[in-house]
Copies of this chain bind each other. A is one copy, B any other.
Amino acid sequence: MSCYDSSETDQISRIRRFNRYYTALLGLLRSRYLGGPVGYGEARVLFELGRRPGCRAVELGRDLGLDRGYLSRLLASLFKRALISKKPDPTDLRSSLLDLTPKGRTVWEDLNRHSDGLVRSLLAALPVREQAELVRAMDRIVEILESREQPPE
């Protein structure tokens, strides 16, 4: 086995190593949400909604991979706290079009500032060259994975 072994087995174990490493890192970032104004699930919904104003629950669920029932409750909770608004979808009476309220937008901005801060402190711990290389590698991974013919459903 050479120093540049690229056997399938080796590749798999390296990817799994990355997955372990990144699971831990994301867990760390996620833990920094504890005690915030909204839970992690709600934060994900708010965040996505902030990026796609006027979308319907089913789209949020698809994008975030959330169960319909769970999402329904998350939305109900956000609605009760006046962070999101609903208006009737003119093309489908079963759905509503969702939006952030001004208050929700404020929380959204706070969450973004918070997330940015976490990532910023990560970057700050690296030399400038590594910062750039890190970002390039991440971009490339997304690019490659998105090019798959059939992303696993």
Contacts and interface: CB of A to CB of B under 8 A. Distances in A.
Q: How many copies of this chain does the complex contain?
A: 2
Contacts of A151: 125
Interface residues on A, range: 35 or more
B65 A24 contact: yes
Interface in A66-120: 115-116, 118-120
A2 interface: no
A35 to B, nearest CB: 15
Contacts of A11: 123, 131-132, 135
B137 A141 contact: yes
Contacts of A120: 8, 12
A3 B47 CA distance: 26
Most chain B Cβ neighbours within 10 Å, of A24, A131, A142: A142
